[in-house]
Amino acid sequence: MAKEIKFSLLYRDMWQSSGKYVPRVDQLVQIAPVIVDMGCFARIETNGGAFEQVNLLYGENPNTAVRQWTKAFNDAGIQTHMLERALNGLRMYPVPADVRQLMPKVKKAQGVDIMRSFCGLNDHRNLELSVKYAKEAGMISQAALSITHSAIHTVEYFMQIVDKLVEYGADEIALKDMAGVGRPVALGKLVKEIKTKYPHIIVQYHGHSGPGFSVASMLEVAKNGVDYIDVAMEPLSWGMVHPDVITIQAMLREAGFLVPDINMEAYMEARHLTQTFIDDFLGYFINDKNKIMTSLLVGCGLPGGMMGSMMADLTGMHGAINMALKQNNKPEVTLDNLLVQLFQEVEYVWPKLGYPPLVTPFSQYVKNIALMNIFALAKGEKRFSTIDKDSWNMILGKTGNLPGPLAPEIIELAKEKGMEFYTANPQDAFPNALDTYRKEMIDNNWDFGQDDEELFELAMHDRQYRDYKSGIAKKRFEEELQRAKDEAQVVVAAPVVTKEEAEKKVLNYISEKYPNAKPVVAPVGGTILWEVDYEKSTPPAPGKKYKENDVIAIIQTYYGNVEVPVLNAGKLIDSRVPQGGRVRKGDIIAWVE
C-alpha cells in the first residue's frame, strides 16, 4: 500500500517570511473557510512566532484573532498548530517558567491543537519544559530540531537530541529547516533514523525555498518515512518562503505516494483573497527581494523568516556605511553589494560564534554582529568592536549551550570586558513573574479574559500589550501605514530626486562641510526618546559635547529601552529625528564631530 503524506499550510509563516505584518483578523476569518474548501490540508499553522505581537502592533487583540482564526479549522476537523521558541516563548528574549506554563493552557482553550517548540541552539534543556507544559495542557507536543549544515550538525548530533526529546515525552518531531540549507540526503537519513528507532513518533518536515534544496529534501524525507510536509501557496510561495502545495503534490504523487487532491477552484479563490490582502495594505511591507531564491544562502545559511527585517536593516545601514567608506577614501557600495557582503560576513563569523543554528533569535544576533562588523571595517575599526547585549547573552551561554566551541578571539574579548560564562540551566536565571503581572492587571482594572488569556498576553508581551491598551499602538501603526502609502505615491510620481538620492545629498553635504563628522547610528529599530518624557522633550541642541560612550538617546523597542551611545567623543553637529520619531536599525540619528 502506498505511503500517505499529509500537508500542512503555513499561512502564518508565509507572511512572516515575506514581510513585516500578517493579515488582520477580519481577513483571516474571510479566507479560513476557503482554505478548508481546498480539501488538501490536514493541518494549518495558525499562530505563534510573531503573530501575537503583530496583532498588538495593529492595536488589536491577539486573543480574539487566535480564537476566530482557528474556529473554522476546528469545526472542519483540521488540526491547528502554533510555533513557540522554548525558553523565549513567543518573543525574542527569555520567558519565566510560569508564563511558559500558562501559554499552552491558553492556546489549547483558544483552539490550537499542536505546540511546535524549537530551541534555536538545539539545547534540549530549553525544550524539556515546553514538552511538559504542552502535554499538561492537553496539546500535542511537537518538538523541533533546528536544522542547519555544518561539520558539527550530523545525523548523530541530531539523534542525540531526539533521544532526549522522546525521553521528555514529545509526541512528534519536526525538522525545522528554517533556511532550507539542510542537505536532502542527510535529512532523509535523519528521518529514517527517527522512524526506525521510534516508529510511533510522527515526523513533520518544514523547509524554506531560499537556496533551492527544499523540494529535493521533501522528496528524500518522504522516501524515508516522513508523515507531514509543510507547504505554502501562491502568491506567497517560493522565494524566501516555502514550496507551493501544487508542485509538491504533483512530485509526490508521481513518486507513488498517496497525497490528497486539491480543489483548484478553492485554491484560486484563496490565491485571489491573499492578493487582495497584499493590495489592501500588507504589500507596503513586503520587500520584493523576498520573492527571489538565491544560492548565496547555501554558504551563509540565513533563514527565510528573517529576510524582511534583514533587508530593512540593510537599507537603514546603507547610508551610514557609505558615509564611513567615503570618509576613509574607499568606494561606496550599492545595496545589492552590501547584501552580498553581509552573506559573506555571516559565513565568516558563524563558526567563530560556536555554530548557533541560524534561526530566531540567534540568526538575528549573528546577522547583527556581521552587519556591525561591516560598519566597523568601513570606519577602519576592528571586527567585533560592537556586540549588543542579547548577542553577548548567546555567546556567554545564558540562553543555552552553543553547538560548537567559540573562537579564541571571542573568548579573549569576553575576558577583556570582565564577562563571565554561564553553565547552569538557562531557565533558572529567570524567576516566575505572573504574580507581578496579576497585580498590574488588578491595579489597572483590566479584564483577565477567558482562561487568563489577557494576563498571558501582558506577561508575554508586556510593552506591546500596554501600548495596545493605551491606544498608542494603533496610532503608531496608522502613522506607519500612512508613511508607507506616502512613500509609495512618491515612487509612482517618479520625482526628479528619489528618497535615496535625497538622503545621499544630505550625507554628502555633512561629509563635505564637516569632514571629521561621525554618524550616530540607531543600534535597533524603535521610537527615539531624547529624554524619557515622550511628550515634552526635544533633541539636544547643536554644540552639546559628549565623551566617548556617553548616552545621547534611548530607543524604545518592543522588548525594552536600548541606550544609544556616542562612540566618538565630540560635539553635536545635528540631530535628524524628532522626539518620538520612528527609526530603523542603522538609521543615522545624529552627527558628532
User: Distance between CA 507 and CA 322 in Å, rounded?
Assistant: 9
Residue 507: the pLDDT is 58
Q: Which of residues 474 and 573 earns the better pLDDT score?
A: 474
The answer to whether position 130 is within a domain reads: yes
User: Distance between CA 556 and CA 103 in Å, rounded?
Assistant: 26
The answer to whether position 101 is within a domain reads: yes
Residue 263 main-chain phi, psi, to 5 deg: -75, 100
Mean pLDDT of the chain: 89
Q: Which of residues 359 and 133 earns the better pLDDT score?
A: 133
pLDDT at position 335 over 90? no
The answer to whether position 310 is within a domain reads: no
- Residue 535, strand partner residues: none
The answer to whether position 440 is within a domain reads: no
pLDDT at position 576 over 80? no
Domain endpoint, select from 266, 287, 308: 287
The answer to whether position 197 is within a domain reads: yes
- The CATH number of residue 531's host domain is 2.40.50.100
Q: What is the pLDDT of residues 407-426, one digit of tens each?
A: 999 999 999 999 999 999 99
The answer to whether position 421 is within a domain reads: no
Domain endpoint, select from 254, 287, 320: 287
Residue 307: the pLDDT is 65
- The CATH number of residue 271's host domain is 3.20.20.70
The answer to whether position 452 is within a domain reads: no
Residue 508: the pLDDT is 61
User: Distance between CA 31 and CA 15 in Å, rounded?
Assistant: 14
How many structural domains does the chain have? Answer: 2
Q: What is the pLDDT of residues 93-115, one digit of tens each?
A: 899 999 999 999 999 999 999 99
pLDDT at position 19 over 50? yes
**Average confidence (pLDDT) over 454-471:** 95
User: Distance between CA 140 and CA 172 in Å, rounded?
Assistant: 8
Range of the domain at 23: 6-287
Residues 6+ apart with CB under 8 A from 124: 161, 164, 165, 168
> In 200-244, where does DSSP find H-type helix?
214-223
pLDDT at position 517 over 80? no
The answer to whether position 432 is within a domain reads: no
Confidence of residue 67 (pLDDT cuts 50, 70, 90): very high
Angle at which helix 434-443 crosses helix 97-110, to 10 degrees, equals: 60
**Average confidence (pLDDT) over 248-275:** 98
Q: What is the pLDDT of residues 540-562, one digit of tens each?
A: 777 788 887 788 887 876 555 67
Q: Is 537 in a helix, a strand, or coil?
A: coil
Domain endpoint, select from 258, 287, 316: 287
Residue 534: the pLDDT is 41
